[in-house]
Structure 1
């Protein structure tokens, strides 16, 4: 048999391609997996709602506040909240800002080019001038460092955009939990379909930004800019947070001579789908904050599942990260299905070929991921 006639070797992750084309998901279907995914997403939905409220508050009411000491208080500063804050008996909003900065750094979608447009620059200049019209020091600082204030406004745009995105995702996850409690969600494909339906339903939802400055709103991202929920925030979020991420300090060196971090951002693989859960149980690793927040809201059946599986409660944050990764593979499955060129279960030869090529592109990115760890099997290597 010649090289020209030799059949093409199957993709090393061809099992998952076949599973998706058969109507399955990246995560195997089992009653325990369903309960684990829904349980962690219920907790995540509650936490996301809190994150979203705060991000939108910061964008709306903390516009270019130079020393935002109370930005995590959502406008309610009192002794009780101060003591809870100092005692760290609170939601860790720092994690939300970590995600926002990662999303801003990696860019993508329509938001990034809009924030480089002349339209944005003109609107930002008006808002900045209004904010500092009685502050000659900061106004003069903007004249010397011309990109400083516009860059802060760009960050605030990502802040509110992520808050609006998470508002929708929180609703999707909490409705999933309600449907599970009502007996409507019974399989992993049910979970994926619910998430996919939610993404599609709000795909065209406009992302806008008009902060309150001196009692008046100033448009910075108008609806006419055409920034929408799915393509301009959802897809860049998956790319930045699920796949690329940022290397956790203390786990790899930032020394360029050591060459431990890729030079090309597109080669980053530090996102949620790649992260080792063990370091996430320790301090100094940003997702530890998320696990700490979610542990307060896990449902009873989720705790019972852990107990039945013999999971050590002393390593709860590590266990929660493992469950969170399972749930994120379900969310990723929904994103893959939603962006496919044709219905993923199509048997039309041309459509199936196009879908297979599309899925191979995704599988290339899963080679080094922790997909095998949520399967209970080893990933084949190239």
Structure 2
């Protein structure tokens, strides 16, 4: 296998060709044995990591509710000397990246979730939970009276912890099942990967997102079923928007000085997500995806690790190679999203439906024009 850094010269595939491939049942990522191995291998690793991430996010949401100094929030309730030593030595899962994704979602927002979090119902439910949590703590009660918006905003953030954890709980199982099917010979091409993702996300599309906490043995519902928040439209789509597309500029790579003008004024113009990030800085200090690449490096299937080691730089730039493979896999996930949200099946032969789909796909191509899509489509 010739890995991406060995491709010295390439010409981007015309986006019109990519649209035609989508209409023929293909994906944003071209089909090849090399791409297939990279995608299913890296998603297997990603699934292992997401399993750890989702458990910790849900633990923080459920068990660290309004804990003012959560020193041990990454320990999932199991604090031992060995775990503490491993934590200090960084021989652990980097849960900080999960929180980075949560904060990206919180900042960019999820429309229906935010509408509920801005409602009087949420305010009432949050206030009841806050009062129960602060019972017997006069100092905290005084803080709440002096700054009445502080703790409700904290509860709002806890809701995003829970929603992202519930989203990843579905996704990690989906990715691990993909690898199992690949090993059984059921996944033989990139379109098979997209179909697997599409079917499994479709099966969970209408799953309700709810959130409650137990305080002194009593349950307090923060997000009730009546809020009607669903997996696909209220978690998956906002996640893709916030993490795949927008995200946030990496500290130290651009100036946050408004006069420098290096960061777009409007959040909607942000293009710092997983589909746009330059893989080369991966491994550098202060670049959040480095944490994810390090976590995935520890869970690589042996066959994919062997391919990476056989490249030009081998171990030296494995995180960069992992990032390239990860971006390829995210274009497969994005393809599933494109197919799921299309006005008509992309393979339709009816002229009026093809015309509507073409306008829809052109919109996607414009948005992906500055992404890494051209880099993963060499000719």
- TM-score, with structure 1 as normaliser: 0.94
- Distance in 1 of aligned mates of 2:307 and 2:371: 25
- Distance in 2 of aligned mates of 1:293 and 1:104: 23
Q: 2:85 matched to which residue of 1?
A: 83
Question: Which of 228, 231, 234 is the equivalent residue of 1:229?
Answer: 231
Q: 1:5 matched to which residue of 2?
A: none
Question: Which of 8, 25, 28 is the equivalent residue of 1:26?
Answer: 28
More moved, 181-190 vs 15-24: 15-24
Q: 1:242 matched to which residue of 2?
A: 244
- Distance in 1 of aligned mates of 2:204 and 2:327: 24
Show the 5 A alignment for 1:258-297: 258-297=260-299
- Distance in 2 of aligned mates of 1:111 and 1:311: 45
Show the 5 A alignment for 1:133-152: 133-152=135-154
SS in 2 for 1:372: coil
Q: 2:112 matched to which residue of 1?
A: 110
Question: How far does residue 304 in structure 1 lie from its aligned partner after superposition?
Answer: 2.5
Q: 2:10 matched to which residue of 1?
A: none
Tell me if 1:215 matches 2:220: no
- Distance change >3 Å, CA 63–CA 28, structure 1 → 2: same
Contact 1:63 1:156 in 2 (8 A): yes
Contact 2:178 2:196 in 1 (8 A): yes
Show the 5 A alignment for 1:1-382: 13-310=15-312, 312-377=314-379
- Distance in 1 of aligned mates of 2:286 and 2:252: 8
- Distance in 1 of aligned mates of 2:133 and 2:120: 20
- Distance in 2 of aligned mates of 1:344 and 1:337: 7
- Distance in 2 of aligned mates of 1:372 and 1:281: 23
- TM-score, with structure 2 as normaliser: 0.95
- Distance in 2 of aligned mates of 1:347 and 1:16: 18
More moved, 306-315 vs 116-125: 306-315
Structure 1 outlier segments of 4+, above 3 Å: 307-311
Contact 2:105 2:239 in 1 (8 A): yes
Q: 1:8 matched to which residue of 2?
A: none
Contact 2:308 2:318 in 1 (8 A): no
RMSD of aligned residue pairs (Cα, Å):
1.0
Question: How far does residue 310 in structure 1 lie from its aligned partner after superposition?
Answer: 4.2
Question: How far does residue 305 in structure 1 lie from its aligned partner after superposition?
Answer: 2.4
SS in 1 for 2:211: coil
Contact 1:252 1:260 in 2 (8 A): yes
Question: How far does residue 117 in structure 1 lie from its aligned partner after superposition?
Answer: 0.8
Q: 2:9 matched to which residue of 1?
A: none
What are structure 1's unaligned runs of at least 5 residues? 1-11, 378-382
Contact 1:311 1:319 in 2 (8 A): no
SS in 2 for 1:373: coil
Q: Tell me the matched-pair count.
A: 366
Which whole-Å deviations, capped at 9, do the CAs of 1:20-70 have from their partners, x for residues lacking one? 001110000001110110000000000000000000000000000000001
More moved, 208-217 vs 281-290: 208-217
SS in 1 for 2:191: helix
Which whole-Å deviations, capped at 9, do the CAs of 1:224-249 have from their partners, x for residues lacking one? 11011110000000000000010000
- Distance in 1 of aligned mates of 2:285 and 2:333: 27
- Distance in 2 of aligned mates of 1:346 and 1:310: 43
Which whole-Å deviations, capped at 9, do the CAs of 1:104-131 have from their partners, x for residues lacking one? 1001241111111111111000000100
- Distance change >3 Å, CA 336–CA 373, structure 1 → 2: same
Question: How far does residue 13 in structure 1 lie from its aligned partner after superposition?
Answer: 2.2
Question: How far does residue 309 in structure 1 lie from its aligned partner after superposition?
Answer: 4.7
- Distance in 2 of aligned mates of 1:313 and 1:375: 25
Contact 1:109 1:231 in 2 (8 A): no
